[in-house]
Amino acid sequence: MAESNRKLWKVILTASLVVVLVLWTIHYFGAEKVQAFGSVMSFLAVVVAAYATVIYVHKTSEIAAATRTSAEQQARVAGLMEQDLHFRITPHLRYESLGASGFRCEGQVRNNGTGTAVEIKGEAILVGSGKTQSLHLLPPALEPRHDHVQRVWFDIEPTSTGYSILLSCTDSLYLKNYRFKYNESGLLLEFLVVPRT
């Protein structure tokens, strides 16, 4: 701001000197020389206008640079906010086996993520036959409470040599689908995140 004021005072001082110079020239040379002096004054007016144009262009470029910097900062903030949102809404379903009794396997599902899991689906894939069994008692949604578990069960065939569990869900804003695959001991085999279409 101080630099702008300094430049403004320079322009005012230059214009004042030009006026004083014009009056002195008319007085010293007489009225007959005024026409010649008019051309000199026109030249000085052009110089002053050119100087004002240079100042204007310089200030405009400063404003454009500040606007560009502001837009870059806003884009960085928006990116950080998006990353934070995805962290806050991401569910993480976990399967833990509770063993088998007869032809029924039991386990529990919990949400270890930071966001609510909705549209939960689960199935057991039997090793050997490749058949799938739905997980019974699976709720439609699970809050991200690590102490809350949902007991589930599925039927297993006598000839099966094991199973894997496939869980899928969506985040509470319906932005992405999440898929988790566990072996029968609860080891995570596969984790996949896919944007919803």
Domain count, the chain: 2
Q: What is the mean pLDDT of the segment spanning 47-56?
A: 89
Q: Which of residues 88, 109, 124 is at a domain's end?
A: 88
* Same domain for 178 and 113: yes
Of 88, 114, 142, the one marking the end of a domain is: 88
**4-11 average pLDDT score:** 79
- In this prediction, residue 158 has a pLDDT band, given cuts at 50, 70 and 90, of confident
Q: Are residues 18 and 105 in the same domain?
A: no
Based on the domain organization, do 97 and 188 belong to the same domain?
yes
Token pair listed for 116: 């609510």
| Chain mean position to CA 190 | 27
Find the mean pLDDT for residues 13-40.
74
pLDDT, one tens digit per residue, over 139-150 is 889 999 777 889
Position 108, amino acid: Q
Contacts of range 174-178, beta carbons closer than 8 Å, 24 or more positions apart:
174/118, 175/86, 175/89, 176/86, 178/90, 178/91, 178/92, 178/93, 178/117
Q: Using a cut of 0.75, tell me whether the model's pTM lies above it.
A: no
| Domain closes at, from 70, 88, 106 | 88
CB 36 within 8 A of CB 28: no
pLDDT at 153: 92
Domain that holds residue 181: 91-195
Residue 145 confidence (pLDDT): 79
Around 118, how many Cα atoms within 13 Å sit in the side-chain half-sphere? 9
Backbone angles phi and psi of 168, in degrees to 5: -140, 150
Which distant-in-sequence residues (6+ apart) come within 8 Å of 135 by Cβ?
Answer: 107, 109, 122, 123, 124, 152, 153, 154, 165, 167
Give the tokens for residue 132.
């799938």
Cβ-based burial of 108 (10 A; exposed 0-12, middle 13-18, buried ≥19): middle
